[in-house]
Chains A and B, each alone.
Chain A
Amino acid sequence: MWMNSTQWSGEHSFMAVLPVLTYPDSRLTGVSKPVERFDSALRDFIMDLEETMRVGPGSVGIAAPQVGNLHRIVIVDVSEKKGVSHHGKLILVNPEIVVRQGSLVGREGCLSVPDFTGNVSRAERIRFRARDMNGAIIDIQCEGYEARAVQHEIDHLDGLLFLDRLSSRRTDLFPRKKKS
């Protein structure tokens, strides 16, 4: 196999862009299992997952089941969006939302649902716990756009797509969002 040295990353493999499943692939509606081993295979997979997210058109997050790996792993990185509060690149293994506050309607799209966007109501602020790729505990509070991305990705782990949570365009004429 031909390998260019610039493609190497880490100690083993070079990064690969994985094929993204698109709806109605049944794996997108399955429930993902918790990760138990924080080993080099996990880290290699996460690098590929990140690479796949980076090449997605405008995507700021990805979840493992979107590439057919039904384990509880997501990546969120909204740092490129201007005017948005964020925590940089978030690699979350076995994430769990522990607090949800407020609600805000915003538009979402999905790498797994081409040519469709819709309005979805999400918690405005969340606090979540997860492990990083080495198994260390992460405990973060976030809000707005970043919180939306985290909730969208964690939904993927439970087999839920934003299509399951669409709100009507018209009911949003009288927005229910609570400004803080």
Chain B
Amino acid sequence: MNWFMLALVGRDQTGIVARITQALYAAGATLGEASMIRLGGNFTMMLMVRHAGNAAALSALVQPIAKAMGLTFHIDPINGELHRHEQPNVGISVHGADRAGIVARVTSLLNDSGVNILNLDSDVGGSEAQPIYVMRIEGQTTRSIEELNQVLAPLVSEGIRIHVDELDAMVG
């Protein structure tokens, strides 16, 4: 059995997940971790699939559904590393009036200070006339909250709201 990453994109419509996963299940494939989300009216899916065949065989399973529903997809062989979750210890919330470069500048500053980003979600809310940008990052760092606040201070002085918090999962 081999692990693959199936990346699939298309106009959002009902039944995409059900049809794709049903076809995979019927062919004996099993699923790992997945992210499926609607981005700006598009359905997007990243799905870990374990299958006995090669990428071409897996592609043949997805192809008819993709064609019928107008979806594009891509399949890559991957190392399927389950049961090795990394725990984030810092969360960074960013929001402000939408402007070019927020993501690049925040992530560059974090990268330069050795923050390993594990998750990043961002969204654009507000109205067309006044869009607001909202981003949530979770990562791992050896820096303190104060140090990260200092690292991000130049952006705060430009009016971007940034809140850094320590993530400490309550285990019980």
The minimal Cβ–Cβ distance linking A130 to chain B, given in whole angstroms, is 16
Could you mark each residue 41-73 of chain A with 1 if its beta carbon is under 8 Å from any beta carbon of chain B, else 0?
Answer: 000000000000000111111110000000000
Residues on the B chain within 8 Å of A152, using CB: 170, 172
Binary per-residue interface labels of chain B (112-137) against chain A in the complex, 1 for a CB within 8 Å, 0 otherwise: 00000001011101000000001110
Main secondary structure of the interface of A (DSSP, over half): mixed
> Is there a chain B Cβ closer than 8 Å to A115's Cβ?
yes
Q: Across the interface, do B171 and A173 meet the contact criterion of CB distance under 8 Å? A: no
Which residues of the partner chain B approach A174 to less than 8 Å between Cβ atoms?
A: 123, 125, 134
B121 x A148 contact (CB < 8 A): no
Chain B residue nearest in CB terms to A155: B172
* CA A146 to CA B112, docked complex, whole Å: 35
A110:B171 contact, CB within 8 angstroms: yes
Is A173 in contact with B168, judged by CB distance below 8 angstroms? no
Q: How many A-B residue pairs have CB under 8 A?
A: 65
Question: What band does the interface of chain A fall in when counting residues whose beta carbon is under 8 Å from B?
Answer: 20 to 34
From residue 41 to 81 of chain B, which have CB atoms closer than 8 A to chain A? none
Chain B residue nearest to A60 in the complex (CB): B172
Cβ contacts under 8 Å, A148 to chain B:
170
- Within the complex, the shortest CB–CB distance from B36 to chain A, in Å, comes to 11
**Chain A's nearest CB lies how many Å from the CB of B137?**
11
> Which residues of chain B come closer than 8 Å to A76, judged between CB atoms?
172
B residues lining the A interface (CB < 8 Å): 37, 83-85, 87, 93, 119, 121-123, 125, 134-136, 167-172
- Write the residues of chain A forming the contact surface with B, with a CB cutoff of 8 angstroms: 56-63, 76, 78, 81, 106-111, 115-117, 145, 148-149, 152-153, 169-170, 172-175
